[in-house]
Amino acid sequence: MGDILVVTEHLKGDFQDITFEMLGKAKELAGATGGKCLALVFGDMKNKASELGAADAVIAVGTETEYNPESYAAAVKAAVEAKSPSLTLVGSTSMGMDIAAPVATALGLPVVGYCCGISNEGDGFSFVSQQYGGKMNVVTNVSGAAVALVLAGSFPAEAGQTSGSPAVEDLAVSAGNGKVRFKKLIEPQGSDVDITQSEILVAVGRGIGSKDDIELAENLAEALKADVACSRAVVDAGWLPKTRQVGKSGLKVKPKVYIALGISGAPEHLEGMKSASTIIAINTDKNAPIFDVAHYGINADLFEVCEEMLEELE
Amino acid sequence: MKIIVPLKQVPDLVEDLEVDGSGKALDTDDIKFKLNEYDDHALEEALLLKEEGAATEVVVMAIDGDETDKMLYTALAKGADKAIKLTGDTPHDTHQLAQAFANAAKTEGCDLILAGVQSVDDRDGQLGPVLATYLGLPCISAVAGVKVQGSSVLVNKEYAGGMVAEFEMDLPGVLGIQAARQTPRYAPVSKVRQVQDSMSLATGSTGDLGAGAGSEIASMAPPEKSGSATMLDSAGDLLEILKEKGVI
Ligand SMILES: Cc1cc2nc3c(=O)[nH]c(=O)nc-3n(C[C@H](O)[C@H](O)[C@H](O)COP(=O)(O)OP(=O)(O)OC[C@H]3O[C@@H](n4cnc5c(N)ncnc54)[C@H](O)[C@@H]3O)c2cc1C
């Protein structure tokens, strides 16, 4: 059985949680078969190799440190060719999306997306992928080498957070062909309310139906001394600003109470709120995935429930 | 500058989804399909680029199937210049879909391909990056905001936490669109009907679809219900819980 290669992810000099989540899982999978857990680091992140103690070895490529879709994909491809891992783990993230499929497709390897479960299976691996907005789990078994996109929050980061002094090996890679150039990072805009600090959040999803009805959530939030947050669908529709968005491409929140109104609970949304202490979901679809992470649920129309609550609160 | 936008239909998740007799696929008999919402954003971004004079032509393409005509006519009604319906072998996974679009894009020719960043069923990778690999083009995913500057584009790529990275990419290339700069426009039914009477769909071939994903679905099932949620009957019950938690 071969080794497992983890493509690390970093931003502004820090390894991201997904890196440790993948390392912990890779260590477990490799340990069961006697393979090694390898971590691929980019540019100056090599200097932080001691944070990657969960890996048996660190492979350092001399790309620019700042993420670049083209040069990173070229470096990962070179590393996979050089090390022939039986499995390559890439985050199912904005960055990982640019890397996994191109590398796998160029090398003729299968790529499995949205993985929330991975286990050893015969000579290969079995993957569980979240599909249809979290409404179906799809199992894919692969007998040879593969590349997997790992959903954030699927595996505990603690399992991969061991410091140590793994051997560091430099791997020479070509710089890519320069068709994509990094220009700059743009910090998120400031906001009147920082929802990552809120104790209570009333979060609205597409189920609220229109911009005008956001007011209902605002009234409820006021009565509960809560702040209003939302799903991406609400931001894309222009109903609330980006600073209120919870999830993968928004903010991670951990309030005491999170009330989800008309939010389906897509994996990208759950990523940002599933560690809230108490989650309450109101949704007309009894099969909505939000009910799987909620502590309390009401399978009903959000307007009826909210209006009734407001009446009683008065 | 010519932009191609590949379009795809996906099951409407509002529906009750069930697995068919094979245990490996959705039962599609009774479910409604709709345009992948990120494809809608990709089309909107392409139309915006045309309206501001950065692009000269927007071409949409889709694989022939149920309701494909309506989807393509709707795109024309929104402002696309040409719609191509691809017939031939039906793609079975994202890799084959990408191959079909790659074949058609080579025939059609273009400077930029705007694909939806992902879809709810792309188990074997997202369309944009696979398509770009087949065409040997650069690709950037999770893009919200595109500016054309001569023979390159300046794009905003979304990271976590609201952070955005700006990249420059030489054309031709592929972008995975996360969100257009404005909410996708709506085409009234009357306009779609009018277009149906005045314009026609071009046709093309899906061509050789290649080997596909290189992996197959072993099984499909709804996730096991954690059953941990206590279901409440009324707003009153909910207020009791909020009292217990010290919220009110
Ligand atoms: C790269 C990437 C990053 C993403 N990042 C994020 C992110 O940061 N945050 C995020 O939220 N999403 C994100 N998404 C989008 C995500 O995949 C979903 O599309 C989104 O979360 C859906 O939002 P929603 O639940 O509001 O809408 P929907 O999925 O449309 O759900 C609406 C829900 O409302 C219910 N409903 C309708 N009417 C009523 C009513 N009257 N009363 C009660 N319930 C009702 C419906 O049953 C349904 O469950 C991202 C996607 C991608 C591709």
Domains and their CATH numbers in chain A: 4-171 (3.40.50.620), 200-313 (3.40.50.1220)
Please indicate whether residue A93, judged by its CB atom, sits closer than 6 Å to ligand 1. no
Compute, in angstroms, the gap from residue A229 CA to the centroid of ligand 1.
13
Q: A4 with A118: CB under 8 angstroms? A: no
Please indicate whether residue A77, judged by its CB atom, sits closer than 6 Å to ligand 1. no
Please indicate whether residue B96, judged by its CB atom, sits closer than 6 Å to ligand 1. no
- Distance in Å from the first CA to the final CA of chain B: 58
Q: What is the Cα A169 distance to its own chain's centre?
A: 28
pLDDT tens per residue across span B238-247: 999 999 999 9
Nearest CA to ligand 1 atom 23: A233
A122, A9, A153, A233 alpha-carbon torsion, rounded to 10° = -120
Q: In chain B, positions 35-74, which contact chain A (CB-CB < 8 Å)? A: 41
Both tokens of B12, joined, read 């409407």
B126–A139 CB contact, under 8 Å: no
ipTM for the predicted complex comes to: 0.95
Q: A258 with A201: CB under 8 angstroms? A: yes
Identify residue A186 by its one-letter amino acid code.
I
Please indicate whether residue A131, judged by its CB atom, sits closer than 6 Å to ligand 1. no
pLDDT tens per residue across span B155-197: 999 999 889 999 999 999 999 999 999 999 999 999 999 999 9
Name the average pLDDT for chain B: 96
Q: What is the 3-state secondary structure (H, E, C) of chain A?
A: CCCEEEECCEECCEECHHHHHHHHHHHHHHHHHCCCEEEEEEHHHHHHHHHHCCCCEEEEECCCCCCCHHHHHHHHHHHHHHHCCCEEEEECCHHHHHHHHHHHHHHCCCEEEEEEEEEEECCEEEEEEEEHHHCEEEEEEECCCEEEEECCCCCCHHHHCCCCCCEEEEECCCCCCCCEEEEEEECCCCCCCCHHHCCEEEEECHHHCCHHHHHHHHHHHHHCCCEEEECHHHHHCCCCCHHHEECCCCECCCCCEEEEECCCCCHHHHHHHCCCCEEEEECCCCCCCHHHHCCEEECCCHHHHHHHHHHHHC
Give the separation between CA A266 and CA A264, rounded to whole angstroms: 6
Residue A91: left (phi > 0), alpha (psi -120 to 50), or beta?
beta
B229–A291 CB contact, under 8 Å: yes
pLDDT at B146 over 90: yes
Identify residue B111 by its one-letter amino acid code.
D
- Cβ neighbours for A192, distance < 8 A, ≥ 6 positions apart: none
In the sheet where A37-42 sits, what is the strand order? A167-171, A57-61, A37-42, A4-7, A87-91, A146-150, A111-121, A124-131, A136-142, B217-221
Give the separation between CA A9 and CA B58, rounded to whole angstroms: 36
Annotated binding-site positions of A: 206, 231-232, 245-249, 262-269, 283
User: Which of B130, B168, B231 has its CB closest to that of A101?
Assistant: B130
Beta bridge partners of A144: none
- Count other C-beta atoms under 10 Å from residue B128's C-beta: 34
Beta bridge partners of A290: none
B123–A114 CB contact, under 8 Å: yes
pLDDT tens per residue across span B86-112: 999 999 999 999 999 999 999 999 999
B164–A185 CB contact, under 8 Å: yes
Q: Which residue has the tokens 């759950």?
A: A270
Dump the DSSP string for chain B. -EEEEE--EEE-TTSPP-B-TTSSSB--SS--EEE-HHHHHHHHHHHHHHHTTS-SEEEEEEE--TTHHHHHHHHHHHT-SEEEEEESSPP-SHHHHHHHHHHHHHHH--SEEEEES--TT-TT--HHHHHHHHHT--EEEEEEEEEEETTEEEEEEE-GGG-EEEEEEESSEEEEES--SSPPP---HHHHHHHHHH---EEEE-----S-SS--EEEEEPPPP---SEE--SHHHHHHHHHHTT--
Give the separation between CA A17 and CA A157, rounded to whole angstroms: 6
- Count other C-beta atoms under 10 Å from residue A78's C-beta: 17
Q: What radius of gyration do chain A's Cα atoms show?
A: 21
Q: B189-198 vs B68-78: helix axis angle to the nearest 10?
A: 100
Q: Which residues of chain B make contact with A243, given a CB cutoff of 8 A? A: 162
Best of A21, A98, A127 to disrupt the B interface (most B CBs within 10 Å) is A98
Mean of pLDDT values over A121-138: 95
Compute, in angstroms, the gap from residue B144 CA to the centroid of ligand 1.
18
With CA atoms as reference, report the closest residue to A159 among A18, A15, A274, A4: A18
pLDDT tens per residue across span A181-192: 999 999 988 888
A264–B13 CB contact, under 8 Å: yes
Beta bridge partners of A91: A150
Give the pLDDT band of residue A18 (cuts 50, 70, 90): very high
User: Which of B140, B222, B238 has its CB closest to that of A98?
Assistant: B140
pLDDT tens per residue across span B223-237: 988 778 999 999 999
Whether the upstream peptide bond of residue B172 has omega within 30° of 0, thus cis, is yes
pTM: 0.96
Give the separation between CA B13 and CA B23, rounded to whole angstroms: 19
Q: Which residues of chain A make contact with B23, given a CB cutoff of 8 A? A: none
Mean of pLDDT values over A45-58: 98
Give the separation between CA A285 and CA A298, rounded to whole angstroms: 10
Give the separation between CA A239 and CA B76, rounded to whole angstroms: 27
pLDDT at B51 over 60: yes
Q: B127-135 vs A94-107: helix axis angle to the nearest 10?
A: 40
A238–B182 CB contact, under 8 Å: yes
pLDDT on residue B198? 97
Best of B93, B123, B137, B248 to disrupt the A interface (most A CBs within 10 Å) is B123
User: Which of B130, B154, B236 has its CB closest to that of A105?
Assistant: B130
pLDDT on residue B225? 80
pLDDT on residue A1? 57
